[in-house]
Amino acid sequence: MQFIPRSLLIVVKAHNAEAMREAEEISAWLRERGVSSCLVPSAASAPPPDEGGIPLQPFDAAHARGMDAALILGGDGTMLGVGRALQPCAIPLLGVNFGKVGFLTEISSENWKPHLQALMDGEFSIQGHNALHWALVRKSGAQGGSGWAVNDVVFARGSVARAVTLDLFVDDIFMSRLRCDGIIVSTALGSTAYAASAGGPLVFPSLNAVMITPVCPFAGAFPPLVLPSSACIRLRTVQSADQVFVTIDGQEHLPAAPGDDLLIRGETDKMPLLVRDPRWYLRRLGQRGFILPGPGSYAPPEYADEAQP
């Protein structure tokens, strides 16, 4: 379905002067084309007022109300943080890469005008992706925290470099007691993140699936597991000496105690992205080095054109 936004929330990577300069240029470019915009930093606190430029307010999901989409100037980490923060609004996101990998960001920071013009011409569509809702329930039954994850929720050891013992349940069925460094529960969109580094599968991001990947399991056999997103996953710390933390998208964390339960379930269409090419994921697997034919170029000469973005 054709999507042409008339208002954009522009979220800028906090304290990044280059991204801010480009955001101001984009805002002016949009204004000339009758598109309203609002600039906010990605962090909770705005840059000092003496830095000049457009005055900014602290980032809050309330800024997205009434906006058609969010344009994010940053890297994958900024995309993840903004995606979590904007869950109440569920507006589509489009990234301009100011990071290192830029797997989730659609647009190059050096070549944004043709892409934004294509957006104004209706050449982008909304592609929905799952997110994970998590809740930490203490042994006493009290709530220890809850929220959303775009890439993954990790239940893993703390600062001491030793394995921990974790029980895994799926839909209230006991699956395994694992002695490992941790367990990664990821979305399909997040399958190229920590889960891939731990040997998990690469899963097409629009699939309604959730992955469970153990990190360095000791003995036994537990291969990465792909489940329907509706599955209810429960993880529990077993041994009292184990120091375990819950980590959300590699950005937020909180400690768990023995007997605490971490409950995770997938929710559909909680992370909408604006995409120009529905095959972007397959192209980016090669462009970002996840799938390569071996030493040499990314593709044989006869396929070079197909390999380009």
Which amino acids are annotated catalytic? 76
- Which residues is 108 bridged to in the sheet? 97
Alpha-carbon gap, residue 94 to 292, rounded angstroms: 27
